[in-house]
Chains A and B, each alone.
Chain A
Amino acid sequence: MATQVTSAVLNPEGYRTITPDGAPPGRGASSGMAPRLDTLKGKTVYLVDTGFGGSGKFLDEMQSWFQEHMPAVKTVRRRKPGNVFRDDTKDLWLEIEEHGDAAILGVAG
């Protein structure tokens, strides 16, 4: 015997926001990317560990790599203070702004 049932709840796979071309919504305005450097030679690059497992060790190895292969680049290792899931520091960003030229951040995942 055929049964008719109420359609299931809310599942966003069947009921979601999509754009006319099928892509999820974008909210971009301007890219806001910083100007790039001409070269890393003589520059200070901060290696910022955002706190996920293994990130610190990865950036330690990255620092060693720079020392071996690009000794003209000064590297500074830091760990982001505060909540590992949030951007909740200003002191570190101000330090990088004052003393640094670029930053490598990682590792997500």
Chain B
Amino acid sequence: MAVATCSRTLEQEYGIPTAPVSTLEFAAVLADDRRFHGVPLRFTYTPHPVAGMTAAVLRKYIEGTDPASHRSVTDEIIEALTKPLGEDERADTYVPVTRTGVRQALLEPDTEDNLQRLFYERGWTDGLPIILPTEERVGHMLTGTTHAPDEVVGEIYLHDTREHLKFTVEMVAIVGVMAGARPEHLPVLLAVASTGQPSIPGSTTPFATMLLVNGPIRNEIEMNSGIGAFSPRALANSVIGRAWTLLSINWGYFRLRKQFWTSQGNPIGYNNMCVAENEERSPWEPFHAQKGYEAHESAVSLFRGWNFINNVVGSSRRSIGEDMFTQLRPLPGLFSAATLILDPLVARHLKHDEGFQTKLDFCRWLSLNFKMPAGEFWDNDLIDMLMGPVAIQGVEPYATWKKLPKDALIAPYDKPENMNIVVVGGETSPMWKVSDFSHTVSASVDKWRAKPLADGCADGSCGLPDEPSNGAH
């Protein structure tokens, strides 16, 4: 869209004729863009993709034909700049908007098999069977909050239709039922929904997300923050993570080539790495407290990125920090974005044996000590795409890094405050995960609770499984 936006600016504000170029893949999006803005930009299309192609291939594109019009690409570009505007290029006529397709409150009664099929065929599911949202089930789900069913929780923006769509408590409750959630999970779902953030953003890249829960609610709803916390085992982790995907689907984010573009997808999307922080075994303040919440409050935090790399057996031949360098190196280091998931064994070692008193202390150490050649940094296409133009703009230290010899070493994580640490794990092995995920937002869970936090849960202990006795199997 940036090509269209910039072209419009040059045409309309600077009087410069433009010849915008796009790959064919985005022709439909650009047609929507034209309808919305009413500016008949003269796009020329090339085959898709341009990214990753050799100079020879790109030369063939230029000397070949536009796959949409079957005309010479260069002829079209020259015409775009020189041919007078025709009658058919005048502004689109404004057409009043009407709303149609008002949703029924209830679907017609049918068999379970038929309704499961209906939900799937209408694109309302993730492909797996759902729990059918009957009135009774939705009513029961709504007991999980004191908020009115018709209260607006938030709104989302659809780029293809330029619509802001509002959604209510009841809508979130319906999705909760579909995902298999229980009423006690609803405040967490409402907190996630209130952010308006989809679990899969509209991008051709394999974006993935992580959903972190902090505070007493974790234990009240029996979330797993210990052994196998990221594995498909605990009901709360599974259904809350799935509900975020179903929310995103029903917000319209999975409509192919309208909002959903990810070429290969990402399996993380099935559950969105829904997990709780193991606050009881962490030596540091919980993540939500770092974001301004009180430790006794409950909150969700959302993260977004592409890659997770596991350390598998700890590190006995070098320090944990030095071992992390090998995992950080293949990641893009985009504006210092990184999220480290540490087993409590690792976190406590870092604090008690290596002296990192806070999470930020360790991030600062990584920031100062991890280095890589400037050439390797800039040769990453994602870095070039997103940080290259910022360097051109003169923003430091990127502008200086851009001028360095390829073999000069830089410390690419220059903003340790953009690095996150979350403590998760069951202490069976001193391992960790390193990712390029960034924290996007945190939101209150307590705002959506059905009742005030009971005194007995103030320390988050309720819902914890009993300590195993000796000889427990």
Contacts and interface: CB of A to CB of B under 8 A. Distances in A.
Contacts of A109: 22-23, 25-26, 48-51
A34 B15 contact: yes
Nearest to B24: A109
A95 to B, nearest CB: 10
B22 A82 contact: no
A33 B85 contact: yes
A65 B133 contact: no
Contacts, number: 331
Contacts of B106: 4-7
Interface in B4-23: 4-23
B23 A37 contact: no
A102 B17 contact: yes
Given A28-B91, A50-B3, A38 B82 contact: yes
B109 A16 contact: no
Given A21-B95, A40-B78, A3 B109 contact: yes
B interface secondary structure, majority: mixed
Contact of B52 (A7, A53, A69, A89): A53
Contacts of A15: 99, 101-103
Interface in B168-201: 171, 174-175, 178
Contact of B16 (A61, A84, A96): A96
Contacts of B6: 48, 50, 80, 87, 105
Contacts of A13: 122-123, 252, 255
Contacts of B14: 34, 93-94, 96-97
A108 to B, nearest CB: 4
B309 interface: no
Interface string A37-80: 11110000100101111110110111011000100000000011
Given A3-B112, A33-B89, A36-B17, A24 B35 contact: yes
A58 B61 contact: yes
Contacts of A81: 389-390, 392-393
B266 to A, nearest CB: 19
Contact of B22 (A3, A17, A38, A107): A107
B470 interface: no
B175 A108 contact: no
Contacts of B2: 50-52, 80, 84-87, 108
Given A5-B134, A7-B105, A11-B123, A106 B3 contact: yes
A106 B85 CA distance: 21
A6 B412 CA distance: 51
Interface stretch (B37-45, B321-329, B343-351, B370-378): B37-45
Contacts of B74: 65, 69
B19 A105 contact: yes
A50 to B, nearest CB: 5
Interface string A7-25: 1111111111111110111
A7 B95 contact: no
Nearest to B23: A109
A105 B7 contact: yes
A51 B101 contact: no
A26 B119 contact: no
26 contacts: A3-B111, A3-B115, A6-B135, A6-B138, A8-B250, A9-B247, A13-B252, A15-B102, A16-B163, A19-B98, A20-B96, A21-B95, A31-B85, A32-B12, A33-B40, A37-B17, A38-B82, A51-B2, A57-B55, A80-B389, A93-B14, A103-B10, A103-B18, A105-B21, A108-B4, A108-B23
Interface of B: 1-23, 25-26, 30, 32, 35-41, 46, 48-53, 55, 58-59, 61-63, 74, 77-78, 81-85, 89-112, 115, 119, 122-124, 132-135, 138, 158, 160-163, 165, 167, 171, 174-175, 178, 247, 249-252, 255, 381, 384-386, 388-390, 392-393
